[in-house]
Every structure is written in structure tokens, then in C-alpha cells.
Structure 1
Amino acid sequence: MSDKTHLPVGAEAIRDKGWFNAHRYLILRRVSQTFFLSLFLLGPWFGIWWVKGNLSGSMTFDILPLTDPFITLQGLAAGHWPELTALIGALIVGVAYALIGGRVYCSWVCPINPVTDAASWLHRKLDLPKGWQPKRNTRYFMLGMVIAVSALTGTIAWEFVNPISMLHRGLIFGMGFAWAFVIGVFLFDLILARRGWCGHLCPVGAFYGLLGQKSVLRITADKREACDDCMDCFAVCPEMHVITPALRGTDEDTPLILSPDCTNCGRCIDVCSVDVFHFTHRFDETPAPGRVRTRSNPAPKVGKAA
């Protein structure tokens, strides 16, 4: 492990690349999240109804229907056959995320992501213990349970407790009980389980991860031979287990991060001072020199809180 692990996360990248380039994708994600949320708030706040609805289902310019396919799946499980426009909207959204990467939704669109990112940042600053860590497969259990409850109750069950919808309602109708769900997610990630909500529990992320298993957009560690073991990429990655196969592989292993758990957030690219990571596509066959690790010389463990 490098002696540089004692430095603050991203300090080397800021020094070598400048502050903006060390936060480039983080800034773009915040712009993207703000943009999508603003589209839905233009109507209720300013009477500009370019988009009617919310992230669960919307109509843009009275022409383009967009429907969350997870909502559609719950509706079908509940025994409700959606209207044609809703089905078309679900197909459009589903195909888009299947191609570009299902969990891109989590890092580039979902308005809860800044909440969980803020909790993670504060968790790291306060140097809090890792806390309870549910198994990552728990989110798939949650996904199955949501579908089962929808089928048993005849309702779109997740919408009763969905913090994404609660945040939207809170922004439109003001402070109220809806904010308790958002604050609960923040405190859960801060105190109980580091990156617990998005990384272990959220059924929406689980669904989009399954949807984007064969997606085209990928991140590659094609310059992995330059890695200096600073561990910053592991510290900022919301799904740090996806990095190891690409970064610590042998010459025969692909440098592509192929796990559907990857959110394509780009933070590993931001904080890497030696530019190990880049965006690419899943068909990229560019060879990358491996950093051979054997059982007697394993990859170093994470030395920072993520």
C-alpha cells in the first residue's frame, strides 16, 4: 500500500490536475440531477409545463411519454394493465438504460444520490466506523419483496415509501412528513451503514442494475500499470468491489469494469491523479498491462472509508 494513503481523498488529483478536473464528473452529475429535477418543478413552481409528472411517469411537451419500468413492473404484478402510452414510455426508458448502463440512473438522475453522497462525505470527514453492512444481495431481496407486496395488495407498493417520490413531493408541497424519509436515508448512511441505502437496500438500484447488465457504457482501468496504490478510487466508489477485478487483474484480465453494480459515476476518474480510469464501451479490447497479484501478494485492502 502506498504511503500516499494518509493524504485526504483526492488531494493528489487536485494538486496534479486542478480542482475542476478533480471534480469534473461530480459537477456534471450535480448539473444533470438538478436539470432533471428542475424539469419536473417548472410546472408546479412557475407554471411552465414542459414536463408533466415526475420520475415515476411523465409526459414531455404532451408528446413524449416516459415511464419508470420498475413502476410498470409493480403495476403488472398488482394486476393493473397500463395504458399504451405508459407501456411505450416504459419501453423507451428501459431500452435507454439497458444500452447506456442501468445504474446511470442512480448516479446521474436520482435526486436521492446527492443526499447519500453528502452522508458519505460527512461520514468520511468525521471518521465514523463503517457500521452495519448488510449483504449486497439484500437489495435483490428487497426488489423481490416489493414485487410480491404489490402482487398481494394490488398496489404499486414502493411508492408508499419511495424516498425519491417523497423528496419530489416535499419540494412541491413544502416541509412535511415526506421529508422524514429523506432525512432517514441520510441518517441511515451516516450513522448506521456506510453507503448502506444505495449499495445494499434500494430496490430501484437493484432493478436498474439488472436492466443494465449488458450495457454499452463502461469505465476502464486501461492505465492500471500507472496505479500508485493511493486507494482514492476505492474511497470514493459507492460500489468499491467493482474496481478490484479491473484494476488488480493480470495481463489476461480485462481492464473493463463490467459489474452491473457500477453506477458509472466517474468519481474514480476524478480522484485518480495518474489517470488510470477512463470512460469507454464494453467492446473496447484495448489491452492494458496487468499488475499481477498472486495469493501470496494480494491486492491491498482499502485503507480509507468510502
Structure 2
Amino acid sequence: MNKYETRKTIANTTFLETFFDETKEGKKKLSLRAKRWISVISLHLLFFLSFKIDIQVLEGTLNGSRLLGFHLIDVFTTIEVFLATHHLPINMIIGTVTIVLVYLLIGGRTYCSWVCPYGIISEVGEKLHNMLVKKKIIKERAFDNRIRHIFWAIFLVLAFTSGYLVFELINVVGILSRFIAYGWSVALCFVLAVFLVEVFFSRRAWCKYLCPIGTTYGYLGTVSALRV
């Protein structure tokens, strides 16, 4: 039997059951989803603790950070900054090159699965959405996911023409990352709004259709050594 026919997924089992798989001997082990969640939570716990108690391990947010003093800069953020200011500080160049090299090795989509904090929230929203569709309370709405390339270009054009990082005003990944590291912000209301859209209107809409960060790492993934 094809292993994918019996694999536990959000659609065909309870949400908690997706965190465990069974071995041939019938023993439970952590599933890939559980390991991904542990990765995301651990990473952002380091962001939180580095700021809260000044352990200085992973300082900053996903937009820009320092790991034990080494700069790490999000690729899309760097493109935005360059288009908006026509200048890049040397630390930003070094941090971006480092990130590019890392994701060329481990796969661009690794960011979405193992790093992005909104991915966890979106998976919860996906489960709720599927439940509502199954009960025929709402309808499944899907769109052409190639639209994400259009949004990617739009956000960069806005940065170039306005001189501002326009996308960062609605960047749910950045908003969540700053919230985890530094605390509450009214911008979290937008994250909630996106979550509700995904629950009641279109499943995982942010990741599939809008997010230029994931799109950028997807581009890297097409030439990376490892595919995720």
C-alpha cells in the first residue's frame, strides 16, 4: 500500500494525532510535523530569551538578526531595502549572503516549514477550515497560486517607488517575530484578520497566494542542493 494513503494528515485525522507516527513495531514516534513545530518554537524561544534575559544567542527578529554575533538578514528584506534606499550596508550584505548560502544548501522551502512562526498558526487555521468545509458551513475556495509572483513584484515596485518598506506594514511573519521577541503590538490585529480569512474564506491564503518571503525562498529552492 502506498504510504501516503495511510499517512496522518490534517485532513484525515485529529490535529494532535498528526504529531505522532507509528513504527513498524507499533511504537509511537514524533512525526515530521512535531519536529517542525519544535524547530520553530525553539528558534523563537531563543529570540525571546536573547532579548528578555540578554543571553545574546539569537538577537533580533526574522527580518534581521545576529546569531552569536554573526549577522543574518532576510533575503526579501534586503531586496526591499536596496530598492527603497539604493544602498546596502556591508553588514546587511554579509548577512544576506550568509542566509542565501544556508538555504542553497538546505532548501529554500525549509524556511516556510522549519522557521516561519506563522506556519504554525496557518496549520491550525487549515484544520479549522477543513472542519467547516466538511460540515458544509463554508465552501472551499482556491485560486491560482501563481498570483504570488505578481504580489512579489508589486511589493518590490512599491518599495522602489515610495522609498519605504511597504510590505513590512502587513508582513505577518515580521509582526509575529517582533511580538515574540519584544512584546505586544497593535499590528497583531492584522495577523488575526489574516488568520480569520484563512479559516472562513481560503485555506492557507497568506502562504499560498500573498507571502513574498516564502516566494523568495521558493526561488532559492529551485536551485538548492536539497528540495523540501
Structure 1 unpaired stretches of 5+? 219-263, 265-306
1:58 alignment partner, SS class: strand
Counterpart selection for 1:187 from 172, 196, 206: 196
Contact 1:99 1:214 in 2 (8 A): no
The CA distance in 2 between the partners of 1:198 and 1:43, in whole Å, is 28
Within the alignment, does 1:81 sit opposite 2:81 as a pair? no
Report the AA paired with residue 75 of structure 2.
Answer: P
1:187-237 alpha-carbon deviations (Å, 9 max, x no partner): 12111101222112211111111111022223xxxxxxxxxxxxxxxxxxx
Report the AA paired with residue 91 of structure 1.
Answer: V
- The residue aligned with 2:212 is 203
Contact 1:139 1:206 in 2 (8 A): yes
Contact 2:76 2:212 in 1 (8 A): no
Counterpart selection for 1:59 from 66, 79, 104: 66
The CA distance in 2 between the partners of 1:201 and 1:166, in whole Å, is 15
Report the AA paired with residue 151 of structure 2.
Answer: M
Report the AA paired with residue 43 of structure 1.
Answer: S
The CA distance in 2 between the partners of 1:91 and 1:31, in whole Å, is 26
Identity of aligned residues (%): 31
Contact 2:138 2:201 in 1 (8 A): no
- The residue aligned with 1:105 is 111
Cα 1:176–1:76 change in 2 (3 A) is closer
Higher fraction of helix: 2
Within the alignment, does 1:9 sit opposite 2:12 as a pair? yes
Q: TM-score, normalising length from structure 1?
A: 0.63
Deviates more, 1:50-59 or 1:169-178: 169-178
1:59 alignment partner, SS class: strand
Number of residues of Structure 1 aligned to a counterpart in Structure 2 = 214
- The residue aligned with 1:49 is 56
1:131 Cα deviation after fit: 3.0
1:51 Cα deviation after fit: 2.3
1:231-271 alpha-carbon deviations (Å, 9 max, x no partner): xxxxxxxxxxxxxxxxxxxxxxxxxxxxxxxxx3xxxxxxx
Contact 1:131 1:192 in 2 (8 A): yes
1:155-184 alpha-carbon deviations (Å, 9 max, x no partner): 122211111121133335544422112212
Which aligned pairs between 1:1-306 and structure 2 lie closer than 5 A?
9=12, 18=26, 20-21=28-29, 23-62=30-69, 64-126=70-132, 127=134, 129-218=138-227, 264=228
1:217 alignment partner, SS class: coil
Structure 2 unpaired stretches of 5+? none
The CA distance in 1 between the partners of 2:22 and 2:169, in whole Å, is 46
The CA distance in 1 between the partners of 2:80 and 2:125, in whole Å, is 29
Contact 2:151 2:212 in 1 (8 A): yes
Contact 1:99 1:212 in 2 (8 A): no
Tell me the C-alpha RMSD between the 2 structures. Answer: 2.6
The CA distance in 2 between the partners of 1:106 and 1:162, in whole Å, is 14
Cα 1:118–1:80 change in 2 (3 A) is same
Q: TM-score, normalising length from structure 2?
A: 0.83
Cα 1:115–1:159 change in 2 (3 A) is same
1:34 Cα deviation after fit: 0.9
